[in-house]
């Protein structure tokens, strides 16, 4: 049906924002995970791209990092992002990385039966 009330032509973006909005405080997620949550684990790049298009949205973009547990993007964003994460209780490693083993958010699968393999 024609006549979209939306001002922006969002297709992929809106889904990304919706998923990122679902990330609670004190938890982080990865681009690949968000992409996987969208149904396509190969669109990880677009997730970051969609976040790059963010401006005044209420999307906690700072809770999205790469699979390495490290922050990507410009150095300025990295510094800001780290500050925001630390303010939410996220712990950083000496290498400036986040312990994904603990802070990685599982979209609804938060009640996993305790990681059977504490190593890695």
Partner DNA sequence: GGTTTGACCATAA
Partner DNA sequence: CTTATGGCCAAAC
Q: Which is nearer to DNA, 72 or 79 (CB)?
A: 72
Q: Which residues make up the interface to DNA (CB under 7 A)?
A: 11-13, 30-32, 40, 42-49, 51-54, 61-62, 64, 66-68, 72-74, 77, 81, 95
Q: How far is the CB of 6 from DNA (least distance, A)?
A: 13
Q: How far is the CB of 89 from DNA (least distance, A)?
A: 19
Q: Which is nearer to DNA, 1 or 75 (CB)?
A: 75
Q: How far is the CB of 63 from DNA (least distance, A)?
A: 9
Q: How far is the CB of 1 from DNA (least distance, A)?
A: 20
Contact partners, residue 81, CB within 8 Å, separation at least 6: 61, 62, 65, 71, 73
Residue 52: CB atoms within 10 Å: 13
The whole-angstrom distance between residue 106's C-alpha and the CA centroid of its chain comes to: 11
| DSSP structural state of residue 51 | H
Residue 40: CB atoms within 10 Å: 13
CA atoms within 13 A on the CB side of 58: 3
């Amino acid at each position: 049906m024609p006549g979209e009330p939306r001002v922006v032509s969002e297709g992929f973006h809106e889904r990304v924002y919706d998923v990122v909005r679902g990330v609670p405080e004190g938890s982080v997620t990865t681009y690949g995970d968000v992409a996987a949550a969208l149904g396509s684990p190969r669109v990880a790049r677009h997730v970051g791209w969609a976040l790059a298009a963010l401006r005044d949205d209420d999307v906690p973009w700072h809770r999205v990092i790469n699979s390495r547990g490290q922050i990507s993007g410009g150095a300025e964003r990295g510094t800001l992002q780290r500050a925001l994460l630390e303010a939410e209780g996220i712990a950083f490693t000496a290498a400036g990385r986040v312990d994904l083993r603990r802070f990685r958010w599982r979209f609804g699968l938060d009640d996993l039966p305790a990681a059977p393999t504490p190593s890695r």
